[in-house]
Amino acid sequence: MSRKRKDETQQTSRLGPARQSAASVVRFTLLTLIVVVTVFGGGYMAWRFDQFLRDDERFILSSERPGVDTPIELTGVRNASKASILRAFAVDRGRSLYLMNLQDRRKQILGVEWVRDASVRRVWPNRVTVAVQERVPVAVVPFSSTLLIDAEGYLLTPHGKVPPQYPVLNGLRERDGIELRRDRVQRMLVVLQELNAYRKDILALDVGSGENVKLVYQHGATPITLLMGSERYKERLANLLANFDSVRDRLTEDPVLDLRLDERITIIQ
């Protein structure tokens, strides 16, 4: 091979990698440009969509006016204050539904008396549904004003006359905290579960001392205070009822009977 041809071959070999390097730079530049355009274009579209949801009048939660359907639908509300629940949405009136913080509204609603749980849901374009689960009373507590109490120890203000099916839970004070109230209610429910067959005639309970549960039991026309001890409530009450005739004539106007000794009925007063 001549020296001239050899030099041309070597020069061509040196140009090959250079061309490949330039092509790689061009490809990288184009890919980078595509990514940048895609990212900025997507960001711009997201911003425009966000502005659309914020500003379009179709998504505005209207103010409630007489004669106009409310944009907030409540379900499950019987005792809780509807006005208090609706006040949680005051800040959202006249604003886009898109801006509503559902978790914040739910927390506010959970602070309303009688509300045990709640769910808040957007209904596009401009409505809200609120599903409320209310607390269920299990007893009456005779404080300065009569209140109801649920199984978790929460105090509830009754609306109107207190239903007669709830027993009175004695032994609590108004200053007692939620944990103590919950403990007493749970004790009461354990006793009532064992005495379920006699439930309708149990007027009141005092479970403050777990060692000596007290019942007020309605036997015919006579309410009787019973000292039940800490166990075998059903057996002890059944024994009293089976042998009631043996003590009937010795009972006072407000009788108190001690049933803590098995198969014995002791008249305290």
Contact 204, 192 (CB under 8 A): no
- Mind listing the pLDDT tens digit for each residue in 201-260? 999 999 987 789 999 999 988 899 999 999 999 999 999 999 999 888 888 888 999 999
Distance CA 39, CA 49 (A): 15
Distance CA 205, CA 224 (A): 12
Q: Encoding tokens for residue 9?
A: 């071959």
Angstrom distances, CA of residue 222 to CA of 126, 140, 216: 60, 21, 10
Q: Encoding tokens for residue 196?
A: 């379920």
Question: Is the four-CA dihedral 199, 205, 209, 213 of positive or negative sign?
Answer: negative
**pLDDT-based confidence at 27, cuts 50/70/90?**
confident
Question: Is the four-CA dihedral 245, 249, 252, 256 of positive or negative sign?
Answer: negative
Q: What is the DSSP letter of 162?
A: P
Which range, of 37-41, 132-136, 161-165, averages the lowest pLDDT? 37-41
Return the number of other C-beta atoms located less than 10 Å from residue 152's C-beta: 14
- Mind listing the pLDDT tens digit for each residue in 136-163? 999 999 998 999 999 999 999 998 888 8
Residue 118 β-bridge partners? 132
For residue 182, what pLDDT is reported? 96
Distance CA 212, CA 210 (A): 6
Q: Encoding tokens for residue 240?
A: 């009293």
- Mind listing the pLDDT tens digit for each residue in 49-96? 466 556 678 888 887 654 445 799 999 999 999 999 999 999 998 889
Contact 198, 224 (CB under 8 A): no
